[in-house]
Amino acid sequence: MFDIITSILSALGGFGVFLLMLAENVFPPIPSEVILPLAGYTAAQGRGSLLVIVVAGTLGSAAGAVLWYYVGRWIGIDRLKRFASRHGRWLTLTPGEVDHVDRWFDRYGHWAVLFGRTVPGVRTLISVPAGVSGMPLGPFLLSTLAGSAIWTVILVLAGFELGERYNQVANVIEPVSNGVLALAVIWYLWRVATFGRSRRRSDRHH
């Protein structure tokens, strides 16, 4: 993987950064914490423009996010509620809770997208609920571009400053990303195991 990323960056420069970051958002196993610091390191060696790399990385990341946004739009709130009514335990949401999440996203979705785009393990997935809730494309793009720019600048500058030690960035971010994903899996399993329990308790009291 590392050799492939290196050869693409060497051959295509800024356009290579764009393509790799687009791919990273569509196929998350391609790690941005390797792509961007390496691109920053190449800029430090004079083999690329720092500004071009940041812009290309941001646009590539946002383009991948838009794809997942439209996956969410295709699912839609009505389809999600129908799924919740049949398979609520596996979704861990009832149709009523889907409505509640939808209302929450209507109010705070732009902040959720902005913040989510800077969190390892969350940054790709946050686009799906934005699409499901019907968040308008304009605000979604603004929040996505802002969050993607923050993420890109941090990683590119880290690679630029660390020089040959740019791979230390991945060594820091990877455990954080794995931790976030592990917590998400634990939370999901807990939700599945306890799904409907509070409602059953409420029914017994009534």
The pLDDT tens digits for 143-166 are: 999 999 999 999 999 888 887 776
Query: DSSP letter string over 158-188?
Result: HHHHHGGGTTHHHHHHHHHHHHHHHHHHHHH
The model's confidence at residue 137, banded by pLDDT at 50, 70 and 90, is: very high
* pTM for the whole structure: 0.77
What percentage of residues in the chain have a pLDDT greater than 70? 83
Q: Which amino acid is at 62?
A: A
Query: DSSP letter string over 75-125?
Result: HHHHHHHHHHHHHHHHHT--HHHHHHHHHHHHHHHHHHHHHHTTSTTTTTT
What DSSP character marks residue 29? Answer: T
d(CA 127, CA 138): 13
Q: Which amino acid is at 179?
A: G
Burial classification of residue 148, based on how many CB atoms lie within 10 Å of its CB (0-12 exposed, 13-18 middle, 19 or more buried): buried
Dihedrals φ, ψ of 183, to 5°? Answer: -65, -40
In tens, the pLDDT along 99-124 reads 877 888 888 888 999 998 888 777 87
pLDDT (mean) for 72-96? 76
CA 139 from chain centre, in angstroms, equals 16
